[in-house]
Amino acid sequence: MNEQGLSLDELVARDRDHDCEGYGPERVCVRIVGVADLPTRFGPFRIVAFWNNRDGKEHVAIVRGEVSGAQSVATRLHSECLTGDAIGSLRCDCRDQLETALRRVGQQEKGILLYLRQEGRGIGLINKVRAYALQDKGLDTVEANLALGFRDDERDYAIAAHMLGSLRVGSVQLMTNNPAKIRQLTQYGVQVDGRLPHVIPPNEHNRFYLETKAGRSGHWIDLAGKAHLPEQSDPTVVEGMNEED
Amino acid sequence: MRPDTLVIGAGVAGLSCARELALAGRRVVLLERAAGVGGRCATRRVEDQAVDHGVVFLHGASADFAQALAAVEEGGPLPGWPLRLKGSGRPCQDTAFSPGAFRLAYRRGISAFPKHLARDLDLRLRAPVAHLEAGPGVIRVATGGEGPREAPEIVLALALEQARSLLRTLVLPAGTEAAREIAGADGLLAMVGTLPCLTVLAGYPQGAPPPAWDVLYPEGSRILQLVAHDSAKRRDPRRLVLVAQAHPCWSREHQDWPADEWSVEILAELGRLLGSWAAAPDWNFAHRWRHARVDRGGELRRPLMLRLPGGATIGVTGEAFHPGGGVEGAWRAGREMARRLQGEER
């Protein structure tokens, strides 16, 4: 059966009784359960809602064009960050990264942004606030962050890989500054044709990236003295910044 | 011979950690301030009848924990207990009654589980630890009754507040990585609080009507979170025994009162809920659990492992160091601690 070129609506019907072995050690399985138009200030998209059998979270894909069967689709993985994405927090660069990604996907004929509901890379909002509280006390300690759950989590990629598989994407160009992400996705069978550096434009809130260097434990300290946690598992690159730093 | 690891606290987390390390061939000594093991998995005998005055029943959702509990044959497992529930109040842990969860108690008392974990371990009872000191490659602990001891690794398997105050006795050179890590751990532990639980055990005259439930979660009681029909767990109980446990916030408000004053209020509430007979037992005992449990949702993801200059290591574990907490969380956090100490990251 040739499933290439199915429309997003047809994928909902296809997934109605989808039940596979699952991806990754946790055997994550996702289903496309809803699709709708989503006009945004970054252009028109469609939003694809997923159900999954593991974390009870409602992950979504923001899609431009017919991506089913398409090759080299520009793709960005974004992890939910309530404080940055919605509130405009300056303790991270998530909002800049999200807006840049949506703007870039919006300029393509085909593109995808996976919005993964794993607040603070899966540690949850409570523990993220606790990590911020530790930083407020001037503490940025490895063990404390690990106990709060800060570490790379391969399940992120298993869910993302299955989502891309469900969308029947032929191959992707990943918008990332983290080559490890490409390796992880490839492990789960996603064909990655290349990497598009994810460079955010400079603004008054991120210019410290251009003027200073990463401090202790690789964190950037902003002009207000707050450390920036790498919440997107993706190093921040601001236009004009030396990527080696 | 000097042990490889000193585990401080013989509750379920400390016991499961010590057990895992001992099975891996380590020399482990377990120090416990009380006269018995188990911490909050506590059973006492009143008139030769077992009474569980801490954890009322055990529950979990995974096969390996179920196996560990079922292995305690000498305890006389009561699978499924409590079978008869009454009331629509909130249980201490919502997950206890989730689909897929199992529940269990023991005829001989909840402490059968920690006693089972403690078998063949090098255990020193009545050995409270007051002080930690960093030496070259070792940590020395000052114990009451036992004299000082030292080991290259120590594990604190205590209530968070107790672990925190012990960590604070350590003196480390300011500005070092280790001092920062200890300060970070201190700040972290301060964020995760424990909840108190004031408890009354009550024994009733022969002929008192046994309730038709195993556990009551009263709705609309400001004072009581649960009443356990403890004697329903025993074979041929001599008496009807109830265990009443108060809500965390009521416990917090009253925990510094004299015990006879708050226990009277708990008995009066029992009378209001069950009938006036319940307010007048033949005997009652009050127990103040200052650190009964970690508030749900507040747990950390994994145990802490802090390295000191010179190579010594301090581990911190317990219920709070596994998502979900509870006895299962404590058991898992102990094993996870042992694995981390052996350098096996999950």
From the CA of B300, how many Å to the nearest CA of chain A? Answer: 6
What is the rounded CA–CA span in Å between residue A32 and residue B132?
A: 56
Q: Could you tell me which residues of chain B have a Cβ less than 8 Å from any Cβ in chain A?
A: 180-181, 183-185, 187-188, 191, 297-298, 300-306, 321
Q: Of the candidates B180, B183, B302, which has its C-beta nearest A147's C-beta?
A: B302
What is the rounded CA–CA span in Å between residue A80 and residue A95?
A: 10
Tell me: pLDDT of A217 over 70: no
Q: Which pLDDT score is estimated for A135?
A: 86
The 10s digit of each residue's pLDDT in A64-121 is 999 999 999 999 999 999 999 999 998 889 999 999 999 999 999 999 999 999 876 6
Q: Is B181 within 8 Å of A130 when comparing Cβ atoms?
A: no
At A151, which amino acid appears? Answer: R
Q: Is B180 within 8 Å of A149 when comparing Cβ atoms?
A: no
Burial A11-21 (b: 16+ CB within 10 A, else e): bbeebeeeeee
Q: Which pLDDT score is estimated for A218?
A: 64
Tell me: pLDDT of B112 over 60: yes
Q: How many degrees, rounded to 5, is the angle at CA B207 between CA B205 and CA B210?
A: 95
Q: Which pLDDT score is estimated for A245?
A: 43
Q: Is B187 within 8 Å of A147 when comparing Cβ atoms?
A: no
Q: Does A64 participate in catalysis according to the annotation?
A: no
At B48, which amino acid appears? Answer: D
pTM: 0.86
Most confident of A113-122, A199-208, B120-129: B120-129
pLDDT tier for residue A126 given thresholds of 50, 70 and 90: confident
From the CA of B254, how many Å to the nearest CA of chain A? Answer: 29
Of B295 and B165, the structure prediction assigns the larger pLDDT to: B165
Chain A residue with CA closest to B303: the answer is A147
Q: Which two tokens stand for residue B129?
A: 């630890």
Q: Which pLDDT score is estimated for A122?
A: 63
Q: Which residues lie across from A52 on neighbouring strands? A: A30
Q: Which pLDDT score is estimated for B346?
A: 41
pLDDT tier for residue B344 given thresholds of 50, 70 and 90: low
Q: Which two tokens stand for residue A32?
A: 């496309």
Q: Is the peptide bond before B82 cis (omega within 30 degrees of 0)?
A: yes
pLDDT tier for residue A243 given thresholds of 50, 70 and 90: low
Q: Looking at residues A180-191, what average pLDDT do you find?
A: 91
The 10s digit of each residue's pLDDT in B213-229 is 999 999 989 999 999 99
Q: Which pLDDT score is estimated for A231?
A: 75
Q: Of the candidates B184, B297, B304, which has its C-beta nearest A139's C-beta?
A: B184
Chain A residue with CA closest to B315: the answer is A143
3-class secondary-structure state, position B165: helix
Mutation pick from A139, A140, A151 vs chain B, by most beta carbons of B within 10 Å, is: A139
Q: Is B302 within 8 Å of A146 when comparing Cβ atoms?
A: yes
Question: Of A14, A155, A195, A207, which residue is the catalytic one?
Answer: A155
Q: Is B181 within 8 Å of A123 when comparing Cβ atoms?
A: no
* Chain mean pLDDT for chain A: 86
Q: Of the candidates A123, A127, A144, which has its C-beta nearest B184's C-beta?
A: A144
Q: Is A141 within 8 Å of B180 when comparing Cβ atoms?
A: yes
At B185, which amino acid appears? Answer: A
What is the rounded CA–CA span in Å between residue A149 and residue B298?
A: 12
pLDDT tier for residue A1 given thresholds of 50, 70 and 90: very low
Q: Is A143 within 8 Å of B301 when comparing Cβ atoms?
A: no
Q: Looking at residues B85-110, what average pLDDT do you find?
A: 92
Which residues in chain A are contacts of B180 at CB distance < 8 A?
A: 139, 141
Q: How many degrees, rounded to 5, is the angle at CA A229 between CA A226 and CA A231?
A: 145
From the CA of B227, how many Å to the nearest CA of chain A? Answer: 32
pLDDT tier for residue B56 given thresholds of 50, 70 and 90: very high
* Chain mean pLDDT for chain B: 94
From the CA of A207, how many Å to the nearest CA of chain B? Answer: 29
Q: Is A147 within 8 Å of B183 when comparing Cβ atoms?
A: no
Q: Which two tokens stand for residue A146?
A: 């690990």
pLDDT tier for residue A195 given thresholds of 50, 70 and 90: very high
What is the rounded CA–CA span in Å between residue A43 and residue A99?
A: 12
Instruction: Provide the strand spans (E) within chain A.
Output: 30-40, 43-52, 60-64, 73-79, 111-116, 172-175, 192-196, 199-200, 220-221, 227-228, 237-238
Q: Which pLDDT score is estimated for A5?
A: 63
At B301, which amino acid appears? Answer: R
β-pairing verdict for B5-8 and B153-156? parallel
pLDDT tier for residue A47 given thresholds of 50, 70 and 90: very high
Chain B residue with CA closest to A129: the answer is B191
Q: Is B301 within 8 Å of A142 when comparing Cβ atoms?
A: no
pLDDT tier for residue A2 given thresholds of 50, 70 and 90: very low
**What percent of chain B has a predicted confidence (pLDDT) above 70?**
99
Q: Which pLDDT score is estimated for A154?
A: 56
Going by C-alpha positions, the residue among A82, A57, A74, A62 that lies closest to residue A155 is A57
Mutation pick from A119, A135, A143, A145 vs chain B, by most beta carbons of B within 10 Å, is: A143
Q: Is A141 within 8 Å of B321 when comparing Cβ atoms?
A: no
Mutation pick from A129, A134, A141 vs chain B, by most beta carbons of B within 10 Å, is: A141
Q: Does A95 participate in catalysis according to the annotation?
A: no
Of B177 and B334, the structure prediction assigns the larger pLDDT to: B334
Tell me: pLDDT of B203 over 60: yes
The 10s digit of each residue's pLDDT in B230-288 is 999 999 999 999 999 999 999 999 999 999 999 999 999 999 999 999 999 999 999 99
Tell me: pLDDT of A242 over 80: no
Question: Of A140, A153, A195, A207, which residue is the catalytic one?
Answer: A153
